[in-house]
């Protein structure tokens, strides 16, 4: 194998060449047939698509398996301190929602200055935001992204300096001046401002629904933004719930703001997602029917379907869907029975829909718990790493995660295998920030991992020895 310093990454033109070639072969970006033929892990193939430097031997094997000249794919430009937006965009699994994406792009390019994307955790809000950022980059290259789940502080006064070209001056302003400064900058300087995970700045809980802003300055900010005579920027908000203040404010400015509520993927999109993740839904009618049942049972929830696909493709099933169904098919049958028992009609449709939302949340959480239990039994060291990694509130470089394994003194290959085990099962996400590979846990995964970590520490247990 190559030495660690001998690493390669793909160019954007190279990825286009590879994609054209694999489409002709009927492969998706993460087809199991591809990474099996290249003798690499799914996590390595995903890094290839994300333009993350990987071992030169792995890089060449991936290209050779796709029957593409690796020299035409490799990026020969010197590394840049600021990665292109497309780095994470290209490596992301994305299916469907084309009509919604086109609609949001059109609205942002015409009259909308405020776009909200709402939906439960794991439904694909951030993925849609990334697609929008990519599509809007030519017209709005100046982009700022604030991710609330990576911050301990969520008040406007704490966030405002990050939104301003003059952070020091903005931090010292009075509240009224601070709001005016940020809004005036957005109104006069074309840019895209992304506020991802805004629910962290709201009061409430998941059972009753998020309601008001904790900090009144946020309400003032959105009011000023909508009331401004003109605005050259677009503010894109992703949130689990709709802030009640914006509902009343928005009624006065209906032509310049829009809210899109994300639900699960439609059945055809579910099949396409499974295919892109490396499964073969068209292998036979029985497999197709069972995958459809899985998609329906979880209402097309993307994160859950990714986790299930990761389990099927990895140990102990290694892509054997029949073996997976034989072992866990009863889970789907049980969910189908519960769904059939729900009342079809009711006088209060709003209440019934809310109950279904709570039910789906419960189902998704139970499914994540099952994934944790299986990981603990099958790859205990990776389970330990998953739990310990939940202490990181924000994306951190991969070395931070690997250091968590130091007390057990695994070798470098073992460390990487444990990280790959989590990536392959979609229990950890990788992304590029500041030109470096970072790892993060989705909020839903992290909350479950924290619960497991507290339990382990209470028992003084070492999952690696389970």
- Tell me the per-residue pLDDT of 77-125, one tens digit each, with 9 for 90 and over: 765 434 444 445 545 678 889 999 999 999 999 989 999 999 888 899 9
Enter the tokens of residue 111: 């009259």
* Ordered alpha helix ranges (H), 70-152: 70-73, 86-91, 98-110, 125-136
N- to C-terminal Cα separation, the chain: 33
128: three-class secondary structure by DSSP: helix
Q: For 317-444, where are the E strands, in sequence order?
A: 396-397, 429-433, 436-440
> According to the model, what pLDDT value does residue 59 have?
96
Q: What is the pTM of this model?
A: 0.76
Segments of the chain scoring below 70 in pLDDT: 1-5, 78-92, 149-152, 204-211, 342-359, 459-466
DSSP letter assigned to residue 202 = B
Domains and CATH numbers, the chain: 7-73 (1.10.260.40), 98-261 (3.40.50.300), 267-339+351-374 (no CATH), 379-458 (1.10.10.10)
Alpha carbons 430 and 234: distance in angstroms, whole number: 27
Give one word for 318, left, alpha or beta, with left for phi > 0 and alpha for psi -120 to 50.
left
Nearest to 201 by CA among 246, 266, 170, 268: 246
> According to the model, what pLDDT value does residue 96 have?
85
Query: Phi then psi for 196, rounded to 5 degrees?
Result: -100, 125
Enter the tokens of residue 378: 């099958």
Q: What is the pLDDT of residues 446-458, one digit of tens each?
A: 889 999 998 888 7
For residue 126, CA distances in Å to 238, 247, 450, 465 come to 7, 22, 22, 36
Enter the tokens of residue 98: 């084309």
Under 8 Å between Cβ of 274 and 305: yes
> According to the model, what pLDDT value does residue 343 have?
52
Enter the tokens of residue 187: 């109104």
Alpha carbons 190 and 324: distance in angstroms, whole number: 51
Alpha carbons 267 and 289: distance in angstroms, whole number: 11
Q: Locate tokens 């503010």: which residue?
A: 235
């Amino acid at each position: 194998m190559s030495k660690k310093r001998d690493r390669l990454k793909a160019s954007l033109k190279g990825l286009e060449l590879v994609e054209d070639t694999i489409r002709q072969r009927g492969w998706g970006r993460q087809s199991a047939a591809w990474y099996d033929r290249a003798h690499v892990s799914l996590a390595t193939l995903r890094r290839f698509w994300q333009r993350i430097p990987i071992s030169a031997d792995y890089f060449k094997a991936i290209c050779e398996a796709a029957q593409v000249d690796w020299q035409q794919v490799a990026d020969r430009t010197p590394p840049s301190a600021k990665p292109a937006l497309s780095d994470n965009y290209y490596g992301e699994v994305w299916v469907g929602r084309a009509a919604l994406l086109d609609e949001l792009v059109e609205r942002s390019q015409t009259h909308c200055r405020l776009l909200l994307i709402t939906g439960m955790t794991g439904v694909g809000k951030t993925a849609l935001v990334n697609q929008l950022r990519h599509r809007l980059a030519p017209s709005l290259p100046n982009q700022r992204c604030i991710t609330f789940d990576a911050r301990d502080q969520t008040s406007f006064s704490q966030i405002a300096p990050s939104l301003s070209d003059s952070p020091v001056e903005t931090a010292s302003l009075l509240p009224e001046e601070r709001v005016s400064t940020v809004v005036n900058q957005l109104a006069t300087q074309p840019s895209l401002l992304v506020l991802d995970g805004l629910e962290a700045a709201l009061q409430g809980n998941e059972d009753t629904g998020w309601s008001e802003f904790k900090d009144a300055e946020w309400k003032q900010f959105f009011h000023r933004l909508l009331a401004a005579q003109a605005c050259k920027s677009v503010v894109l908000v992703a949130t689990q719930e709709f802030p009640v203040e914006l509902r009343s404010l928005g009624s006065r400015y209906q032509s310049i703001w829009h809210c899109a509520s994300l639900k699960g993927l439609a059945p055809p999109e579910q099949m396409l997602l499974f295919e892109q993740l490396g499964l073969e839904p068209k292998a036979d009618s029985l497999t197709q029917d069972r995958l459809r049942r899985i998609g329906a049972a979880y209402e097309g929830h993307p994160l859950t379907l990714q986790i299930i696909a990761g389990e099927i493709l990895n140990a102990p099933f290694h892509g054997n869907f029949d073996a997976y169904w034989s072992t866990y098919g009863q889970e789907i049958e049980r969910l189908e029975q519960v769904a059939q028992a729900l009342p079809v009609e009711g006088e209060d449709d709003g209440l019934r829909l809310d109950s279904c939302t709570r039910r789906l949340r419960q189902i998704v959480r139970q499914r994540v718990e099952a994934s944790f239990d299986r990981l603990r039994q099958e790859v205990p060291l990776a389970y330990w790493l998953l739990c310990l990694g939940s202490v990181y509130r924000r994306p951190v470089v991969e070395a931070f995660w690997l250091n968590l394994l130091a007390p057990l003194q695994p070798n470098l290959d073992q460390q990487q295998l444990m990280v790959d085990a989590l990536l392959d099962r979609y229990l950890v996400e990788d992304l590029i920030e500041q030109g470096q590979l970072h790892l993060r846990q989705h909020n839903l995964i992290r909350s479950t991992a924290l619960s497991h970590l507290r339990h382990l520490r209470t028992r003084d247990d070492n999952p690696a020895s389970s």
